[in-house]
Chains A and B, each alone.
Chain A
Amino acid sequence: MKKYFAVALGVLTAIGGFVDIGDLVTNALVGARFGLSLVWVVAVGVVGICVFAEMSGRVAAVSGRATFDLVRERLGPRVGLANLLASMAVTLLTFVAEIGGVALALELASSVNELLWVPLVAAAVWVVLWRARFSLIENVFGLMGLALVVFAVAVWRLGPDYAALWHEATHPTKPAGEGLPTYAYYAVALFGAAMTPYEVFFFSSGGVEEHWGTRDLATMRANVFVGFPLGGLLSVAIAASTALVLQPAGIEVDTLAQVGLPVAVALGKLGLAVALLGFFAATYGAACETGLSVGYSISQYFGWQWGKYVRPAQASRFHATLLLCSIVAAALLLTTVDPIKVTEYSVVFSAVALPLTYFPILVVANDPDYMGDRVNGRLANGLGSLYLVIILVAAVSALPLMLVTKAGM
């Protein structure tokens, strides 16, 4: 019974924790501009994150080593350091975007300007990183994030022609009036949002935090293979809701309020309140995850003690990093940069950094010295190799597309 409870809890938090500010904004934006014609990218991205999250989780459970530990071990100190700097920059950018997202959600709820919330939010996130238990971070925000199911309810209440939606999603065509580079640019952004590297840093380090062993592999796989696709469905629901409400009206999404607009149209104030709760939980939880991920990756590179499973004084350099990150994030947001813009850039740079993370995982998941007889099977290797090629294409094309389309103008 306890076992089933653990699996259910893990799946639920995986669903609620899947969506972060990047998924929220990118899906809403893409839904409003391209309808459901880019849903296939979400599907491709979700399968990809499942393949690599399972691999990194399995490596963590079998060998006790988290992702960045392996990055340096396999790529050496020089390439490892370049990788660390790039991954940390992207994760820190995502961290900034998440904190900005929490502040925006609070602004929507309170009408108090986002900038006034930023220092408070950064401090509150740091307090959670400093004192809260790991399981608390994962479970509370993951479960609260389920409030985003309200987007699926909103789609249902809007009573769309499901056959037409299904046809649009399965027979994707570029909408008239949008250029092919723009379409490709948003495809890459959506892919980057679904496969953000911090997800595997956090997932594998979390496995070490919770002392996973080989007996936990089944639970881990249930979380990944059930939770992540359902989380992906939530992403699709967000895109569908903006496609139904905003696209016909010709409204483009560039504020968090517009992301929540379809819910308000379909379900009124109460629905909007639930959506706001979902925004808050999803961004706050992801802020904690990205903040921890920055600390995890730098500590794992240098071999420092890290983790919430020891007391803060025992992992002092790790906690000093977390404190520094929180201060830097607040400082960056207080320059009045628009968190939504930061989010849009963070998902594109995520796409650029993807191979850095996923390549070493694929190599180590095949190494019997680490994995014994739990090395990748044919399916994991086939999909892993295929995705490595897709990831490389996305990474190489991301920046040129950004320049050509002036970031999706």
Chain B
Amino acid sequence: MAAGKDPIAASPVVAGRRYDAALHLLDRQLVDPDGRLVAKVDDLEVVEGADRRITLTAVLTGPGALGPRMHGRLGEWMVAVWSRLHPAEQPRPGRIPMGDLVRVDSAVHVGRRTAGLGVDGSERWVREHVVGRLPLASDEDEPSEQHPPTMEARQARERADDDVAGRRRMVHLLGLPVLGPDGVRLGFLADVRLAPTSGVEGVLPRLVVDGLVVDGRHVGSMLGYDRRARQGPWLLRRIVRRIHRNAGYLPWDAVETVDWDAGVVRVLRSDLDPLDVATR
């Protein structure tokens, strides 16, 4: 992404697999090409383009990304401890740009090996200072492990990361109150549906927010029961659907604006579509 230019080219939404950010991406395991476990998807980075479309730009990992999702004291404490222990002056959470992702199934697959991603600081530290010093730990290391990203490489990466202005985190979007045309609250933003566009990010299509899952309640996830009418077992489905009976879906063209500063989403309609539609 070159500096100065609007990174989010307005490309149209196309047919293809859609993802719900919270249900399909957040909290999934990141796996590298060797099958090594990299980290969890602790948060997602989004950017609002000039056309107000919200594009998914990166996956964020580590306590710096997880902390804010905890909310409250515990989250603040997690971030505080992390930034105190982090070697950088003003640490950022581990960031894996969307271009590095190759596949999403029961895990999120990354196209580069862990060592090249630069998000394994604590693993490396524990290896060097604790586990590597235990008896019988001195196995020959794999060659790639010998070359952690140099300081210059890391700085270059961070500069590239700085290029995109107006980066937001999914944690700041999910949970916002959704207000109808006359200012009446329809509910809270439970999830956002991401649709592929004709633009490409690495090997995956670029994903933009194409609809909102709105729930009358602030708490409790729908565990995936919102998406399928027939998912069992019957008892759980009935209970979850009963608790979230006021939940519904709003397509993106019904959204007026996402007011990040005021922390509300304004929409043009006061009626929600049923949830089972527009999944695929």
Contact = CB atoms under 8 A, between A and B. Distances in A.
A311 B27 contact: no
Given A63-B106, A306-B37, A316 B232 contact: no
Interface string A366-398: 111110000110000110110010000000000
A303 B236 contact: no
A319 B131 contact: yes
A305 B137 CA distance: 16
A310 to B, nearest CB: 7
Given A72-B40, A306-B37, A311-B139, A317 B29 contact: no
A369 B224 contact: yes
Q: Is the interface of A mostly helix, strand, loop or mixed?
A: helix
A313 B106 contact: no
Interface stretch (A76-84, A102-110, A152-160, A247-255): A76-84
B131 A81 contact: no
Contacts of A199: none
A77 B130 contact: no
Given A64-B106, A313-B141, A304 B37 contact: yes
A345 interface: no
Contact of B61 (A301, A303, A306, A385): A303
Interface stretch (B47-55, B120-128, B177-185, B255-263): B120-128
A313 B221 contact: no
Contacts of A314: 36
Contact of A384 (B28, B122, B233): B233
A80 to B, nearest CB: 7
B69 interface: yes
B132 A313 contact: yes
Contacts of B106: 63-65, 369-370
A400 B247 CA distance: 36
A381 B105 CA distance: 24
Contacts, number: 119
A75 B141 CA distance: 37
B233 A317 contact: no
A26 to B, nearest CB: 30
Interface string B6-41: 000000000000000010101111100000111110
Contact of A385 (B22, B36, B71, B234): B234
B223 interface: yes
B122 A317 contact: yes
Given A316-B123, A316-B132, A75 B233 contact: no
Interface residues of B, number: 46
Contacts of B37: 299, 303-306
Contacts of A215: none
B136 A131 contact: yes
A302 interface: yes
Given A77-B69, A77-B70, A303 B131 contact: no
Nearest to B66: A77
B36 to A, nearest CB: 6
B137 A381 contact: no
A73 interface: yes
Interface of B: 22, 24, 26-30, 36-40, 42, 61, 66, 69-71, 74, 105-107, 114, 122-124, 126-127, 130-132, 134, 136-137, 139, 141, 221, 223-224, 228, 231-236
5 nearest A-B pairs in the assembled complex, by CB-CB distance: A303-B40, A381-B233, A63-B106, A316-B127, A316-B131
Given A303-B39, A312-B137, A319-B134, 17 more contacts: A64-B107, A69-B29, A74-B223, A76-B22, A77-B27, A77-B66, A130-B136, A303-B29, A310-B36, A314-B36, A316-B131, A320-B131, A323-B130, A363-B224, A368-B228, A369-B106, A381-B232
